[in-house]
Amino acid sequence: MATTTKKLPWVEKYRPRLLKDVVGNEEAVSRLSVIAKSGVLPHMILSGPPGVGKTTSVHCLANELLGKELSKKAVLELNASDDRGIEVVRTSIKTFAQKKVTLPPNRQKIIILDEADSMTAAAQQALRRTMENFSGTTRFMLACNQPDKIIEPIQSRCAIVRFTKLTDSQVKARLVTVAAKESVPLTQDGIDALTFIADGDMRQAMCGMEATFAGKGDVTADNVYQVCDTPSPEQVKQMVAMASKGDFDGASGILMKLHGEGFAVTDLLSTVYRAVCYGELPEGMRMNFMRVVAETHLRVSQGSDTILQLSGMVGAMCMAAHSG
């Protein structure tokens, strides 16, 4: 009987296994490297935006502290956004913390809670008690996007390591490396498009390249925008340039055309915001445009998700351009 080879997504296939292979966030990774060498592992909170290597870094740290084989027995990973109730703390987490595992001297079991900021307040209170009772044998690694949603008693028991978005050059270098290994026909404008869409999120960049390669073959800018269903940054940049000159009709026409193609208002606003941030605008105008886009996003998030908000945003940008 023929055996089928399990095909992993590229995100998993090329996930770093050691800390030295983690891309970006050099300062945070260096702190973890010091911990790996010393063997003194505290409870930790790893905070930062999605796709920057928080969970991957914890797994790399566990591999270096415990070894690959022992990590399979001594590491428990839970996604707290799915398993975030108090029962999970009382059952899965507590049971694993009580589990007897033979470890090298001065080593502890590791519990990784991904998206820990999604845990309920009651679950966090129960987790605090569990951390106290099993601190001699178990260490807790909490990965989250918003550390302020972790209750203060847990924060005070943890060392906080902050991760930031990856730079465009770091994302591009990794994409080129993976593309070469997978024989992906990757153009320069395709790399730029993937980097723009990812906005510092390595996972999104990798998934975008894999999806484009699977769906279109050639990874070009046009194919990336079609597969990832993202408004064309070039058209949005043109819209921002027109608004900077006070051309309401031209800027509004481009934005209405994109909206008519079916793009959500929030997607359009996100692309406009990045075009303003990274565009070639005078500093004062850039700040005014960012304020206008942010105010529009606030109104849209409150339920005013209409084409009128986009027109109002373009008008406000044109007025801001005239006022300097």
What average pLDDT score do residues 48-77 get? 88
Report the alpha-carbon distance of residue 221 to residue 192 in Å, rounded.
7
Is residue 2 included in any domain, yes or no?
no
What average pLDDT score do residues 202-229 get? 89
Residue ending a domain, among 195, 227, 259, is 227
Q: Kindly state the DSSP code that residue 116 receives in the 8-state scheme.
A: G
Q: Are residues 36 and 140 in the same domain?
A: yes
pLDDT band at 232 (very low <50, low <70, confident <90, very high): confident
H runs (alpha helix) in the chain = 10-13, 26-38, 54-66, 68-74, 86-88, 94-98, 121-133, 152-155, 168-182, 188-198, 202-216, 221-227, 233-244, 248-260, 265-278, 283-301, 307-322
Strand partners, 139: 110
Identify the pLDDT of residue 38: 86
Is residue 4 included in any domain, yes or no?
no
Q: Are residues 283 and 199 in the same domain?
A: no
pLDDT tens-place string over residues 22-54: 998 899 999 999 988 888 889 999 999 988 989
Q: Are residues 81 and 206 in the same domain?
A: no
What average pLDDT score do residues 95-103 get? 84
pLDDT tens-place string over residues 165-191: 999 899 999 999 999 999 989 899 899
Is residue 39 included in any domain, yes or no?
yes
Task: Provide the pairing of β-strand 159-162 with 138-144.
Answer: unpaired
Is residue 293 included in any domain, yes or no?
yes
Report the alpha-carbon distance of residue 291 to residue 182 in Å, rounded.
42
Please state the domain count of the chain: 3
Is residue 98 included in any domain, yes or no?
yes
Identify the pLDDT of residue 209: 93
Identify the pLDDT of residue 80: 62
pLDDT tens-place string over residues 242-262: 999 989 999 999 989 988 888
Q: Are residues 18 and 149 in the same domain?
A: yes
Q: Are residues 210 and 241 in the same domain?
A: no
Whether residue 2 has pLDDT greater than 50? no
Is residue 156 included in any domain, yes or no?
yes
Q: Are residues 223 and 103 in the same domain?
A: no
Identify the pLDDT of residue 122: 84
Identify the pLDDT of residue 85: 67
CATH number at residue 284: 1.20.272.10
Report the alpha-carbon distance of residue 291 to residue 283 in Å, rounded.
12
Q: Are residues 49 and 141 in the same domain?
A: yes
Q: Are residues 250 and 195 in the same domain?
A: no
Is residue 102 included in any domain, yes or no?
yes
Q: Which residues of 51-61 are buried (b: 16+ CB within 10 A; e: fewer)?
A: bbbbbbbbbbb
Whether residue 5 has pLDDT greater than 70? no
Q: Are residues 34 and 143 in the same domain?
A: yes
- Of 51, 72, 66, residue with least CA distance to 18: 66
Is residue 5 included in any domain, yes or no?
no
Whether residue 302 has pLDDT greater than 90? no
**Domain region containing 115:** 10-162
Identify the pLDDT of residue 71: 84
Q: Are residues 64 and 111 in the same domain?
A: yes
Residue ending a domain, among 118, 136, 162, is 162
- Of 40, 60, 52, residue with least CA distance to 162: 52
Whether residue 78 has pLDDT greater than 50? yes
pLDDT tens-place string over residues 111-156: 888 888 888 888 888 888 888 888 888 899 999 888 888 999 999 8
Q: Are 75 and 62 in contact (CB under 8 A)?
A: yes
Q: Are residues 237 and 95 in the same domain?
A: no
Q: Mean pLDDT, the chain, as a whole number?
A: 86
Q: Are residues 123 and 206 in the same domain?
A: no
Identify the pLDDT of residue 1: 41
Residue ending a domain, among 162, 181, 204, is 162
Whether residue 3 has pLDDT greater than 70? no
pLDDT band at 308 (very low <50, low <70, confident <90, very high): confident
